[in-house]
Structure 1
């Protein structure tokens, strides 16, 4: 039989880099077949010499990186030699699998299958799959689906940090689960991901000093998990924007959702009760002060000559006077515009993506004028949307510019606009809380109460009305009227 010859070609994928200009370093393994194998680290693409297949000397760590590449190539060759002694026809995939430490998978036993089903990620995956079907059917929003996928990532993160593995079994969830997750999300998360990035760049090196430093940063707990991870784990986690600790409110929202997944496990008989049940996910919410009328007036009356900012300003004013969240505003079409009653009052009626509850908002003159202004806008004509809405990231960025231009010393956000609408309806227009709740598409008045803070002015105004109904000018009780 003809002797097999191994060919190894180092590649740096300069066309695919992260925000820091770092690219995957891989090798093309060729035998009778060929496959690409990631070497376990990334490097700066601008310092790669495609001709010599080496890191350029102008990089301060070029010797270290080139030695790392040579060591990896020698390791691949060694795996090939070992395989060729025991196998007649070695494939490139065989070499890659040996290099990555992948063994042939054994048939999963029934006990293993049960264990997999009893994991938190398995329940999360099933939930997300069902939720995706609801999104496809128009019953849930894409934004909420994205939110649940982020919850899944949080579970993965915490499993790596606290349990030192890739998943969490239900019988591993103890009474301190909620608090442990809260501590991780609010105080440990950022430093954990900083170490993941460091470790990803210098994955499995022989530099004991570096490894000891990383071990110390991780308090030894997740170190065992990280050192045994495949290179793909690091690439998945370092090709992302900077990961930060969460605020108290955001962390508790994540934990509330994960508690919901544990409850599903209880319903399925995977765990007898929810160990995190007693962990409180309420509190910590800061009161959002709505915009004052004079702030709204400043924004509305300011002359803005830049078209993109003028459009975003109009959209924001529209939000302040309709209460629509960004995602619902973005998806408004002419089909959501209804003319109600004998007087054919214009209303916007739309199922809210987050709650699947209809928002029913009678339109004020200012909102009607904005719809009329943009009815022939090219974007609206091309997409069928009611208003020309930018992507969320652009929208929020432009709002910062608008606040500066208009001299409004507030952080303008879509959430603030929704709070402002609730405040206007309740405290200025004196609309009952139940009606405000319906206009905002809330499932419960309790949710609306978080948006609406009853002001002293409203209490005073209502008390004056009560005084006029019950007492005459001299202060005597109007007994006949009361009776």
Structure 2
């Protein structure tokens, strides 16, 4: 993606502060109206400078030597400019100056593909496969973008800019991995977000000084999170099924509705995760597989009944998983049946149980948001707030008795005003009494 620049080199003098009759020589670089100056570290008599031809006057050996030096500097600056253009590195007056002085980072720095490969190498062992696959897709999008837009399919990190971020977003939107599945909305925003995170990491490891598109924004649209109402939750509890697999998935789903555990965490539950307080409260404390954050949940009776049921099965092995192993595909298949039979009017997924626990079971029954954060195992309360979005049902619950409270306050205010008027009339009447 080559860009044309206005570029010029001029030579000027600046009179010395310690001797106004002498002057210092400077090379002035101008790129797109941006100016930078380089000192040639040479002093001349101010009157010997020819401002029109930009040379030192005279035919002396000293004058010839200085003029040759000026031409050498001009040639070297032009050479650095051409080199930056050929490498498609960010070309400004400052980068040309740095290149001339031998401090230009991009000439001895890192490229973007190198960063992507290094990020993949370092972070793949650290992240869960389910989450890292999305990073792999983002990296693939960036490499496809570079291959299409830049000669050689790569650029220096010094070329990163807000313009590049804009072009990357446009590329992902219009060049999906699958022709039938366009990448738009929140999916597109996540790819931009992950790209920014990779470049932020480059700043952390000192490959670049700043993230040039740190402020670039591709906002995600907040969707209302689906969750079961308490009536729907009870309906699923009461519904009987003849298929053993569906019965098991129903129990597993209900258990998560009362504990907030994700599918992977429910599958990992063992007896060692439970603790008993002196008052008889049973706690389940487990580090979440996704975030490695501790989730601490007091077990409700509805969940304890299900735990006892599966801990008491004939094939249960002490120290093993409480719930029998089942695939995520089988769970989704059974949830589709449960959704249809119970008349749930939205797609039922296992994650709905986690939202149901947060909203219907906890928040709507007076549990504070900070407590729900601990039970869900969230590192940030802002994540919990996503689960706690306000809907019409919550508005209705929170405003019950609103009019009655206003009416009571109105009665108090009117009674106070009436009392004040009576006091005023009484004071006026006593003022009219004759003096004794």
TM range (shorter): 0.5 to 0.7
Question: 1:414 is matched with which residue: 322, 343, 350?
Answer: 350
Aligned pair 1:183/2:170, yes or no?
A: yes
Once the two structures are superposed, the pairs formed by residues 145-164 of structure 1 within 5 Å of their partners are 145-164=129-148
1:78-97 pair list within 5 angstroms: none
Does residue 369 (structure 1) correspond to residue 305 (structure 2)? The answer is yes
- Secondary structure of 2:175's counterpart equals helix
Matched, 1:398 2:334: yes
Report the RMSD for the aligned CA atoms in angstroms. 3.4
Equivalents in 2 of 1:359, 1:150: separation in Å?
25
Give the structure 1 partner of residue 47 of structure 2: none
Q: Distance in 1 between matches of 2:174 and 2:373?
A: 36
* Deviations 1:232-265, CA, capped at 9 Å, x for gaps: xxxxxxxxxxx83334213322332231111110
CA distance in 2 between counterparts of 1:185 and 1:249 reads 12
Tell me the CA shift for residue 310 of structure 1: 0.8
Give the Å deviation of 1:344.
1.9
Structure 2 length as normaliser, TM-score? 0.61
Q: Partner of 2:296: helix, strand, or coil? A: strand
Cα distance in 2, alignment partners of residues 397 and 171 from structure 1? 50
Of 322, 340, 345, which residue of structure 2 is paired with 1:386? 322
Distance 2:198 2:227 in 1: 34
Task: State yes or no: 1:297 paired with 2:234.
Answer: yes
Q: Shift of residue 118 of structure 1?
A: 7.2
**Distance in 1, Cα, partners of 2:411 & 2:368:** 28
How far, CA to CA, are the matches of 1:398 and 1:348 in structure 2?
26
Alignment of 1:270-289 (within 5 A): 270-289=207-226
Change (3 A) 1:473 1:174: closer
Offset at 1:315?
A: 0.8
Distance in 1 (CA, whole Å) between partners of 2:166 and 2:263 is: 32
Secondary structure, aligned partner of 1:291: coil
Structure 1 Cα separation of the partners of residues 185 and 315 of structure 2: 39
- Deviations 1:207-236 (CA, angstroms, capped at 9, x unpaired): xxxxxxxxxxxxxxxxxxxxxxxxxxxxxx
Task: Please give the alpha-carbon distance, in whole angstroms, between the structure 2 residues aligned to 1:189 and 1:411.
Answer: 26
| Alignment-derived partner of residue 128 in structure 1 | 123
Q: Name 1:33's counterpart in structure 2.
A: none
Does the aligned pair in 2 maintain the 1:118–1:270 contact within 8 Å?
no
Report the secondary structure of 1:381's partner residue. coil
**Equivalence for 1:211:** none
Moved more, 353-362 or 119-128: 119-128
- Give me the whole-angstrom Cα distance separating, in 1, the residues matched to 2:193 and 2:394: 34
* Pairwise CA distance, 1:461: 5.5
**Structure exhibiting the larger radius of gyration computed from Cα positions:** 2
Unaligned runs of 5+ in 1: 1-110, 133-143, 193-242, 478-483
Deviates more, 1:389-398 or 1:261-270: 389-398
Matched residues in 1 for 2:183 and 2:159: separation? 24
Give the C-alpha shift of residue 321 in structure 1: 1.4
For residue 338 of structure 1, give the secondary structure of its aligned residue in structure 2. Answer: strand
Aligned length: 305
CA shift digits 1:130-185 (9 cap, x unpaired): 516xxxxxxxxxxx343224313421233124434676652343323433333344
Q: Distance in 1 between matches of 2:368 and 2:410?
A: 31
User: Deviation per CA, 1:350-399, whole angstroms, max 9, x where unpaired?
Assistant: 11223322111111111111111111446653981121242223222321
Q: Give the 3 Å change call, closer, same or farther, for CA 182–463 of structure 1 in structure 2.
A: same
CA contact (8 A) 1:124 1:152 kept: no
Deviation larger for 407-416 or 315-324: 407-416
Aligned to 1:335: 272
Aligned 8 A contact 1:359 1:441 in 2: yes
1:348 aligned counterpart, secondary structure: strand
Aligned mates of 1:269, 1:298 — CA distance in 2: 57
Using the TM superposition, give the Cα deviation of residue 402 of structure 1 relative to its aligned residue in structure 2, in angstroms: 1.9
Counterpart of 2:253 (choices 316, 340, 349) is 316
Rounded Cα–Cα distance in structure 1 between residues aligned with 2:350 and 2:184: 19
- Residue 244 of structure 1 corresponds to 181
Contact 2:124 2:132 survives alignment (8 Å): no
Deviates more, 1:296-305 or 1:348-357: 348-357
Change over 3 Å in CA distance of 1:377–1:172 after alignment to 2: farther
Task: Identify the structure with bigger relative contact order (alpha carbons < 8 Å, sequence gap 6+).
Answer: 1
In 2, Cα distance between equivalents of 1:394 and 1:112: 55
Q: How does 1:65-214 map to 2 (within 5 A)?
A: 115=110, 119-129=114-124, 131=126, 144-164=128-148, 169-190=156-177
Structure 2, unpaired ranges of 5+: 1-105, 414-436
The Cα shift of 1:467 comes to: 10
Deviations, residues 42-99 of structure 1 (Å, cap 9, x unaligned): xxxxxxxxxxxxxxxxxxxxxxxxxxxxxxxxxxxxxxxxxxxxxxxxxxxxxxxxxx
Q: Tell me by how many angstroms 1:445 deviates.
A: 1.7
